[in-house]
Structure formats: structure tokens, C-alpha cells
């Protein structure tokens, strides 16, 4: 079973700053996390599941990244990785095709109290299934 082995930041060609990424097996996945977002992630049934929450902007994002996506963006491991040797790598972008994404924001976020619910409850609401 696949699981997250490491986390850190990577410099990706064409990006203005390092981005958050995870290593699963021998692939590096950019998560799409910004500095002000909290993140929860797990691997389930062939997907990297990512929950990004940003209460100040009242936005929460659920992403399902298929683990079989091919890495296409050249980059370099930057910092934070403790179990992965520094190297130039190809990265799976958080914006590639086949990535599913659901966004809750604004009034729906406020009224639904999405700022305080756990990842499992959020996932159940947006996808209608149990992620774990």
C-alpha cells in the first residue's frame, strides 16, 4: 500500500517560489498548498487526497490526485525533506489533468462551518464518501 514517505518544498521550473510537495514511493507530488493554508493529506484507493483550508479567506479545497499521474515539471528538492536525498526531480503538478477538485468558499463556507470541521467530515460532504 502506498503512503506518504516525506514532505517538504520543491523549486519548480516556471514558479516564483518553492511549493509544498509530498513524496509517495518514488514520485514527488506538488499539493497546491499556499503559505496561509493548513493541509491534511492521506493516500486512499490509488489517490493522494488533499484537504486545504484557509479560514481567513473562507475557502476550503478538496483535491484527489491519481497516484498513476506522470511527473512532468522539472524541479529541485528545496527544504524540509528529511528522508529524501536532495536531487533534481520531475514533479507531478497539482494542476494536471485528471485531478478532481471541489471548492467551498464564501457564504457556503461560513454557513456550513467548514472552518472548524475535520477532514473526514469535510471529505464526506464534498465527495459523499468516506476517504479512509
Is 131 part of any domain?
A: no
Range of the domain at 76: 4-119
State pLDDT tens for residues 19-41.
999 999 889 999 999 989 999 99
Identify whether the C-beta of residue 23 lies closer than 8 Å to the C-beta of residue 40.
no
Is 92 part of any domain?
A: yes
Give how far Cα 99 sits from Cα of 9, 55, 57, 68, 69, Å: 20, 23, 23, 11, 9
- How many structural domains does the chain have? 1
State pLDDT tens for residues 39-75.
999 999 899 999 999 999 999 999 999 999 999 999 9
Identify whether the C-beta of residue 99 lies closer than 8 Å to the C-beta of residue 48.
no
Q: What is the model's pLDDT at position 105?
A: 96
Question: CA dihedral defined by 8, 12, 17, 21, rounded to 10 degrees?
Answer: -20
Amino acid at each position: 500500500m502506498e503512503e506518504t514517505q516525506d514532505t517538504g518544498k520543491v523549486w519548480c521550473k516556471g514558479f516564483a517560489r518553492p511549493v509544498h510537495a509530498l513524496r509517495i514511493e518514488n514520485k514527488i507530488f506538488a499539493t497546491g498548498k499556499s503559505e496561509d493554508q493548513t493541509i491534511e493529506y492521506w493516500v486512499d484507493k490509488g489517490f493522494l487526497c488533499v484537504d486545504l483550508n484557509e479560514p481567513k479567506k473562507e475557502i476550503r479545497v478538496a483535491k484527489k490526485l491519481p497516484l498513476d499521474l506522470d511527473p512532468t515539471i522539472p524541479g529541485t528538492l528545496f527544504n524540509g525533506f528529511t528522508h529524501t536525498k536532495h536531487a533534481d526531480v520531475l514533479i507531478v503538478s497539482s494542476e494536471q489533468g485528471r485531478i478532481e477538485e471541489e471548492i467551498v468558499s464564501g457564504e457556503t463556507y461560513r454557513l456550513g462551518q467548514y472552518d472548524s470541521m475535520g477532514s473526514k467530515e469535510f471529505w464526506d460532504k464534498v465527495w459523499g464518501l468516506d476517504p479512509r
